[in-house]
Amino acid sequence: MTPITRAHRIYFALVGSFALWVGLWGYFVPGEISRAIPWQVPALHARFIGAMYLSGMVLMGLALVARNLVEVRTAVPMAAIWTGMLLLVSLLHLNEFDYSRPPVWFWFGAYIVYPLAGAWLAYRYRSSLPPNSTAVAPNWVRVYLVIQGVVCIALAVSLFFAPAWMASIWPWRISPLLTQIYSGPFLSYGVGSLLLARQRHWVDLRIVLASMLAFAALVLAASYIHLGVFGPIGVSAQLWFGGFAVATAVLAFLTVRATQLGKI
């Protein structure tokens, strides 16, 4: 198997550090999230963004301490997709930025470098050898990942291409800019789920599953903290809470199994 390269570790450290910075402000000090991102948003939005970034930190942090490329071959393209989508959405909303603020320039610098570097690493090391003798995940796991991937990609496409319609059915009030920003992480996790579904061994799954679990659990917790923002619990809110509750439970089980059985 191919060991993790220095270039990978630098990439994981840089992307993970930025994700930790945004995640901590957004999730734990939501009123000050503008210290980390170019906009000030309401508390639930801030915590939702914080959950996204903290899950990204988990992805990059676990990838940073991994030993072999087989453990991170899905994490790298996921990071490239996530950061690339954020750059694209930012370019579509240039009028939303206050260019007198340093965080804006750091935002654009990071989201130009990160997707390009991630795409290069994913392409350069795309042919890492599979593990020789590790536990194989059962077929139902791959079925679940396909379903999760299709749902996340459909949600991402709708958020990006139909932001006004999605804002009208979203469980809480949301702007078109945030609607499209949210498409990036969902697309990353959707594509990541489909890539994982193609793998056969637990070692391929454990890092990404832990990141997905962090996202689902943190979003569910933030939603309960701000339950009053949802207003009357209609169909969209029921789907929101039910979907994230199911995802948290299944991903928790899969993460534990992958940790136990995914050793090289």
pLDDT band at 1 (very low <50, low <70, confident <90, very high): low
Phi, psi dihedral angles at 199 (to 5 degrees):
-85, 155
Tell whether the torsion through CA atoms of 70, 212, 164 and 114 is positive or negative: negative
pLDDT in tens, 15-47: 999 999 999 999 999 999 999 998 889 999 999
Of residues 67 and 114, more confidence is placed in 114
The model's pTM is 0.93
- Give the angle subtended at the CA of 146 by the CAs of 22 and 48, to the nearest 5°: 20
pLDDT in tens, 170-212: 998 888 889 999 999 999 999 999 999 998 889 889 999 999 9
Q: What does pLDDT average to over the chain?
A: 92
Q: Looking at residue 206, what is its pLDDT?
A: 93
d(CA 221, CA 224): 5
Over range 116-129, report the average pLDDT: 85
pLDDT in tens, 53-97: 999 999 999 999 998 888 999 999 999 999 999 999 999 999 989
Inform me whether the pLDDT recorded for 240 exceeds 90.
Answer: yes
Burial class of residue 34, CB neighbours in 10 A (0-12, 13-18, 19+) = middle
pLDDT in tens, 128-169: 555 555 788 999 999 999 999 999 999 999 999 999 999 999
Of residues 103 and 264, more confidence is placed in 103
**Could you tell me the two tokens for 136?**
């194989």
DSSP 3-state of 201: strand
Q: How many Cα neighbours within 13 Å face the side chain of 200?
A: 7
- Give the angle subtended at the CA of 75 by the CAs of 71 and 80, to the nearest 5°: 150
pLDDT in tens, 217-226: 999 999 999 9
